[in-house]
Amino acid sequence: MVSQYKASQRGLTLIEMIGVLAIIAVTASIVLPALIRQTDKAVADLENVSLQSFGTAFQNNVMRTRRIPGLVGNDWATNIAAELGLNLADVTSNVRRQPRLFLLDTNGFAGLLNGPNYAAYVQTNTGTLAPTNSSFNPRIMIVSSLGKAAPNSLAGGTPGTSDFNNLWNWNGTAAGFPTTGAWSGWTGNPNDITVQRINLSPLLVNLYLDYNNGPNRNTLMCSYGIDYTNNPITSVTNSTTSYTHGYFLKNSVLALFYTNASSVLVTDSFQVLARDSTFIFDQNRWFNSLGNPTNASIIVTTTSGPSSTFDFTDMVNAFLNAPGPTATPTVLTPSTLQSNVVQSFINYMTAYTNWVGAGAPYPDPSGQYSAAVNSQTSLVSSANTLINFIVVH
């Protein structure tokens, strides 16, 4: 009994132990690389999802507050954290404890954000330039490395134009990763880099404000304010040859005012800027109009004015005040001009109804919006022809 018990408790010999360890080592060499790759991919996928949520939260914050967070004091991260209900450290650092970078296209933001440190942009009644060219392109990137830290030269958040463009245009492959500028000499793995691109151009809408000064129009002063509870009221350019123009963040509240004959400021209406818009002050009221001038300056002077300005009161007055038929057959008669206005009005209402019936898309690749604008322009032209005829005669 004793000998059998001792035999059952015999340990592994050295040879057997070496054999077991060898089997474990071979198994680990096969399994561990695949496990590591799978773990890295899961972490990279999670980081990609996190940065996408940061990008959405950043844009939502801009739309909600009508300001663009900047670099100073981690303003960008503070607002993302508040929007998502996260701790600030969960935004500024990734799961591998590497800092996330907030990079600005300085070529575009130089005309938008305030000061050399790129503090937050808070819009005023002036608005900003058109975000459609190389001199103003409001773009942002949030960059994260799950491996070797990104170059220190990018930590300030304001890379050079070429460095920003190279990373913005990166196709996501290791072969296409930038190797010049800030990334020259970087020894990390491009597969560890995650980039979230944010283009703020779609968040800006085009606004034109104008004052009509012609037959049967008054000379009251008109004014406006953007989110005016925080900003002062500004007078609209009061001239036949100039108008006020700027780009503003979507969801901004436009307040329209005028000063009546008793010099009392009157609130006309409030408008939420959800798309490009034109408003014309005429006949003691503000009117919305389809179509805009094409000048891209903030405050411009032009002889053309808004391309689609119209007040139906002018057309009615023209009809009521039209003189009798002229004795010269070769000269247009008021009745002919009136017919042109009526037909133009029918064409405009048909085009406008078609556009609205399609859901009022904007931009509209089908061309229905353009057709409505063009028909309104034709209506303006025919009405003005009739009005000018009556004024002259």
**What is the pLDDT, as a whole number, of residue 294?**
40
Please calculate the CA angle 297-138-127 and round it to the nearest 5 degrees. Answer: 40
Same domain, 281 and 346: no
Q: Which of 280, 307, 334 is at the close of a domain?
A: 307
**What is the pLDDT, as a whole number, of residue 184?**
93
Same domain, 150 and 273: no
**What is the pLDDT, as a whole number, of residue 121?**
84
Same domain, 298 and 316: no
Same domain, 362 and 230: no
First to last CA, the chain: 136
Place of tokens 């496990």: 35
Kindly give the confidence (pLDDT) of every residue in the chain, 393 residues in length, as a single tens digit, with 9 standing for 90 and above: 445 555 555 566 777 777 777 777 777 667 666 655 666 678 888 999 999 999 999 999 999 998 899 888 899 999 999 999 999 999 999 998 999 999 988 877 765 655 556 778 888 888 887 777 666 778 999 999 999 999 999 988 989 889 999 999 999 999 999 999 999 999 999 999 999 999 998 999 888 888 765 544 455 678 899 988 766 788 886 554 556 778 899 999 999 998 887 888 889 999 999 888 888 887 678 888 766 544 333 333 233 333 334 445 555 554 555 544 443 433 445 567 777 777 888 888 888 888 878 877 777 778 888 888 888 878 777 776 776 665 545
Question: Can you give the chain as a three-state secondary structure string?
Answer: CHHHHHHHCCCCCHHHHHHHHHHHHHHHHHHHHHHHHHHHHHHHHHHHHHHHHHHHHHHHHHHHHCEECCCHHHHHHHHHHHHHCCCHHHHHECCCCCECEEEECHHHHCCCCECCCCECEECCCCCECCCCECCECCEEEEEEECCCCCCHHHCCCCCCHHHHHHHHCCCCCCCCCCCCHHHCCCCCCHHHEEEEEEECHHHEEEEEEEECCCCCCCCCEEEEEECCCCCCCEECCCCCCEEEEEEEECCCEEEEEEECCCCCEEEEEEEECCCCEEEEEECCEEEEECCCCCCCCCEEECCCCCCCCCCHHHHHHHHHHCCCCCCCCCCCCHHHHHHHHHHHHHHHHHHHHHHHHCCCCCCCCCCHHHHHHHHHHHHHHHHHHHHHHHHHC
Same domain, 381 and 235: no
Q: Show the tokens assigned to 70.
A: 């900047």
Same domain, 54 and 152: yes
From 345, 344, 349, 352, select the one nearest 372 (Cα to Cα).
Answer: 352
> Cis omega before residue 363 (within 30°)?
yes
Amino acid, res. 163: D
* CA dist list (Å): 194 to 29, 46, 281: 29, 10, 50
- When divided into structural domains, the chain yields a total of 3
Output helix, strand, coil percentages for the chain, rounded to the nearest 5: 40, 20, 40
* CA dist list (Å): 371 to 73, 205, 286: 49, 21, 24
CB 44 within 8 A of CB 195: no
**What is the pLDDT, as a whole number, of residue 308?**
39
**What is the pLDDT, as a whole number, of residue 305?**
35
**What is the pLDDT, as a whole number, of residue 146?**
92
Same domain, 154 and 54: yes
Q: Is residue 34 part of a domain?
A: no
**What is the pLDDT, as a whole number, of residue 135?**
65
Same domain, 52 and 191: yes
Same domain, 175 and 57: yes
Q: Is residue 291 part of a domain?
A: yes
Q: 6: buried, middle or exposed (CB in 10 Å: 19+, 13-18, 0-12)?
A: exposed
193 contacts: CB under 8 Å, gap ≥ 6? 143, 144, 145, 150, 177
Range of the domain at 246: 202-307
Place of tokens 């002062």: 232
Same domain, 319 and 224: no
> Angle 312-321/334-357 helices, nearest 10 degrees?
160
Q: How many CA atoms lie within 13 A of 242 on its CB side?
A: 11
Q: Is residue 242 part of a domain?
A: yes
